[in-house]
Homo-oligomer: A and B are copies of this chain.
């Protein structure tokens, strides 16, 4: 398995660079017979699209997706689904100033040193724009999971820089540019972002993602655990530096009598485990939380070196998200969807003849 693919049975392969002609992906392993149209993918892509508010990058991209294969008369055929998202707004000149320097906190340096060559235009392959492929692949997984098992995958922004955001209602999430589940804090967040942007700096964020109605039994111990694959998938998203399942780091200070979720015939009484025990889904909500670091491309002047190894400074003046976390919600949802779908298929393969013997809930 190469670095640009993931998944064992629901397999996603990605290509494309920020300022190349297009991004594209191949989704392999989707069951046949699923209704699927460009619009199913487009709907999700529009949620992560740039330029949707003043708080995100002003790059102009319609992110129009074209499905190229795997569909016949509106249904998946079981063959590979290829799709393309053409790049439209590529101002390569923006990047000429930084082609010979490494932005602190950016992949500039590591790509250069690893490959001995790099595409500096817009971050090349390291651009967060690659996440269009994830979102498109996730849209297919979401739809199948929803239709086949009723699984519902939703996320929200749980913290913006220093500001934690309470979960109020799923209904709020789609009504503001922050994916905030609390509509009452939008003004505060906007002020914070305006000030941040003005200062030329950036901030981090926390995104929470929840999958409801995941059946019991998905996940393959001991290395192919559901939570292990989720952690890997989440950490593969640009800028992610931490992943928690359920109680996460709060588990450290918990007692066993507090953490271990008790059960009744109606189900679990709590969900510290985050929907996964022993690497296998419990039937509860799968709850994931991720930390995204502040954008590394900022306007403030910073110390760095150039490709000759000489000391210099750098400022980044292109169009960047001051907080990549704001647009990360649909991306994290997509990654969770892909992992769950992969494990749904893996479950059917090995345990297709098993009926969970104990009736709960």
Q: A106-B277, A159-B252, A277-B105 are in contact. Are A82 and B113 (CB under 8 A)?
A: no
A221 is contacted by which of B3, B26, B243, B244 (Cβ under 8 Å)?
A: B3
Q: A79-B221, A357-B113 are in contact. Are A31 and B241 (CB under 8 A)?
A: no
A174 at the interface (CB under 8 A from B): no
Contacts of A246 in B (CB 8 A): 241
Contact residues of A between 62 and 120, Cβ < 8 Å to B: 66, 68-70, 72, 75, 77-82, 84, 102-107, 109-119
For this chain, the copies found in one complex come to 4
17 contacts between A and B (CB under 8 A): A3-B223, A6-B223, A6-B224, A9-B349, A68-B84, A77-B118, A79-B124, A104-B262, A105-B272, A106-B277, A107-B280, A112-B357, A114-B351, A228-B233, A230-B235, A257-B298, A260-B298
A303 at the interface (CB under 8 A from B): yes
Cβ B263 vs Cβ A125 within 8 A: no
A12 to B303, CA, bound (A): 41
Contacts of A248 in B (CB 8 A): 241-242, 291
Q: By CB atoms of chain B within 10 A, which of A82, A111, A252, A256 has the most?
A: A256
Cβ A220 vs Cβ B352 within 8 A: no
Which residue of B has the minimal Cβ distance to A320? B256
Which residue of B has the minimal Cβ distance to A296? B260
**Which bucket holds chain A's interface residue count?**
35 or more
A205 to B254, CA, bound (A): 9
Q: Mark A336-352, 1 if CB is under 8 A from B, else 0.
A: 00000000011111111
Binds B, one of A43-51, A53-61, A178-186, A304-312: A304-312
A356 is contacted by which of B13, B14, B113, B352 (Cβ under 8 Å)?
A: B113
A256 is contacted by which of B20, B159, B298, B305 (Cβ under 8 Å)?
A: B298
Cβ B204 vs Cβ A253 within 8 A: yes
Q: Mark A215-236, 1 if CB is under 8 A from B, else 0.
A: 0111111111101111111111
A7 to B228, CA, bound (A): 13
A254 to B323, CA, bound (A): 11
A235 is contacted by which of B14, B15, B30, B243 (Cβ under 8 Å)?
A: B243
A78 is contacted by which of B13, B256, B278, B350 (Cβ under 8 Å)?
A: B350
